[in-house]
Structure 1
Amino acid sequence: MSPESRARSESKQRAMLAEMALSELRKARGLSQRELAEALHVQQPSIAKIEKRTDMYISTLRAHIEAMGGELEVIARFPEGSIRIRNFADLERERTS
């Protein structure tokens, strides 16, 4: 590959990795639905259902992400800049208190 082709390919790969569906993220993290279900203390069909949803509670999404070893942040993007929404961090503190 030419350096230009290689750079385009690497750029495209980074873009693809920066955006994934939950099922793709789980697979990229090397987890099966069964393993994730065990971590979340739910049945495997619940994981399949969550991965197909287009709308869910933020707490559900946070638990899913944390079970994969990640941390969820909610960011609002505007033309003049991005803002991290911290209300959800407050919910986490209330949950652990």
Structure 2
Amino acid sequence: MDDLDKIMQTLPEEERGAIQKRAGELVTAYNLRELRVLAGRTQEDVSVGTGIKQNNVSRLEKRADMKLSTLRDYVESLGGTLKIVADVAGKKVDLSRIAERSRHGPKL
């Protein structure tokens, strides 16, 4: 059991239900714009959080391909954490450290 599970257990049932509903909504976002709107943030909020100009945030939300570091910065500006999980032959492998290395490590 992680810290979040422990915290969730201390909350009243109604509040836990609201949190789980909201988390479910965020999980069903199909693109960055939907994710941003569900998080209750504006393009300007993302701009401030990432250092990307607002008009470029608009362009970014329409892109299908981008650097992991850019995607990570976008998600973090919404207050989230980027998780990357590969599912190969029924085994789940957490590849989130790749995005973290893109922040700090050498370019390959």
Task: Provide TM-score, normalisation by structure 2.
Answer: 0.64
Q: Cα RMSD over matched residues? A: 2.1
Distance 1:53 1:61 in 2: 11
Deviation, 1:71, is: 0.6
Structure 1 segments of 4 or more deviating over 6 A? none
CA contact (8 A) 2:68 2:102 kept: no
Number of residues of Structure 1 aligned to a counterpart in Structure 2: 82
Q: Which amino acid aligns with 2:69?
A: S
Secondary structure in 1 aligned to 2:86? strand
Q: Could you list the per-position Cα deviations for residues 6-45 of structure 1 after superposition, in whole angstroms to 9, with x for gaps in the alignment?
A: xxxxxxxx4x642311101101111111221122222211
Indicate the residue corresponding to 1:62 in structure 2: 72
Structure-to-structure mapping, 1:37-56, within 5 angstroms: 37-56=47-66
- Is 2:83 the counterpart of 1:73? yes
Change in CA separation of 1:35 and 1:74 when aligned onto 2, cut-off 3 Å: same
- Is 2:42 the counterpart of 1:32? yes
Distance 2:45 2:100 in 1: 26
Indicate the residue corresponding to 2:12 in structure 1: none
**Identity, % of aligned pairs?**
28
Task: Provide TM-score, normalisation by structure 1.
Answer: 0.71
Flag structure 1 segments of 5+ consecutive residues without an equivalent.
1-13
Flag structure 2 segments of 5+ consecutive residues without an equivalent.
1-23
Distance 1:41 1:93 in 2: 17
Deviation, 1:91, is: 3.6
